[in-house]
A = this chain, B = another copy of it.
Amino acid sequence: MAISKERLYTIIFEADTAEGKCFDVALIIVILLSIIFVILESIDPVRAGFQIGLKIAEWVVTTLFTVEYLLRIWVLRRPWKYVKSFFGIIDLLAILPSYLGLIFINGQSLLVIRALRLLRVFRIMKLTRYSTASLTLMRAIKASFEKILVFLFCVLTIVIIFGTMMYLIEGEKNGFTNIPTSIYWAILTMTTVGYGDISPGTPLGQFLASVIMILGYGIIAVPTGIVTAQMIQKSVPGNTQVYPNCMFDKHDDDAHYCKKCGVKLD
């Protein structure tokens, strides 16, 4: 049973070895189970019927997470850096609520504390963040961030202008009680969600609503275009990573492309 600290490090923090992969998969399963337990617990009849079972399940998960958290700290050379990091805090938040639940017996504060356990979902994110797919996605979104910001600002402007116009046209009798509510309606309509809890009653209001709907329907093309263009561009230099420098350096004088890897020569 004597596992060296170094081996434990590779198991817990790396995913390259078979043991490390097993550990990650087991962790994901435990996290998912614990999330499902928290969600089920919020349903009144389930909580009433399986009170003891859920209690046991919670403490099994909490014990596992606590052991894992302590191991992580024990294994690291500079544990404080991990504890203060984003995922260190998430890991702590994954176990803290259960212990805090012993202090705060009942009431709204307990409800919030118990809900905090759902932050465990971010633990899975941590495990997937190194996959190529997430990296590609994140890079594409990061690269088009400024454009998306400009787009969002335009959406906000349209939504404020239309919301205010509807507030003036429709007024309180049709549910547009104040400008924030009208802006809320405009967002509901422009994003094509459309609950229908607030809807225009006057012909002019319905006309304006039609305009904002068609606007919302049409300008969804803009973020889509931004991200798609970014992804296609990203995937072009990305190919040079797949076929990078082939280390072939005896190019003929008249060659415009490397005859080994097909990369265009400068």
Contact = CB atoms under 8 A, between A and B. Distances in A.
A236 B229 CA distance: 10
Given A257-B258, A257-B260, 15 more contacts: A39-B180, A42-B179, A111-B168, A115-B168, A118-B164, A137-B150, A181-B206, A190-B217, A220-B221, A225-B228, A233-B238, A247-B266, A255-B260, A256-B256, A262-B264
A216 interface: yes
A71 interface: no
A199 interface: yes
A226 interface: yes
A136 interface: yes
A213 B189 CA distance: 10
B153 A124 contact: yes
A155 to B, nearest CB: 7
Interface of A: 35, 38-40, 42-44, 111-112, 115, 118-119, 121-122, 124-125, 128, 131-134, 136-137, 140-141, 146-157, 160-161, 164, 167-168, 177-181, 183-184, 187-197, 199, 203, 206-207, 209-210, 213-214, 216-218, 220-233, 235-239, 242-243, 246-247, 251-252, 254-264, 266
Nearest to A187: B210
A229 to B, nearest CB: 4
A161 B224 contact: no
A96 to B, nearest CB: 16
Contacts of A228: 221, 224-225, 228-229, 231-232
**Oligomeric state, in copies:** 4
Interface centre among A119, A160, A224, A237 (most CB of B within 10 A): A224
Contacts of A149: 133
Contacts of A42: 167, 178-180
Interface centre among A136, A190, A194, A263 (most CB of B within 10 A): A194
B257 A261 contact: yes
Nearest to A131: B150
10 contacts: A44-B177, A118-B179, A133-B147, A193-B193, A195-B195, A220-B224, A221-B227, A243-B266, A247-B266, A254-B260
Contact of A192 (B119, B206, B217, B256): B217
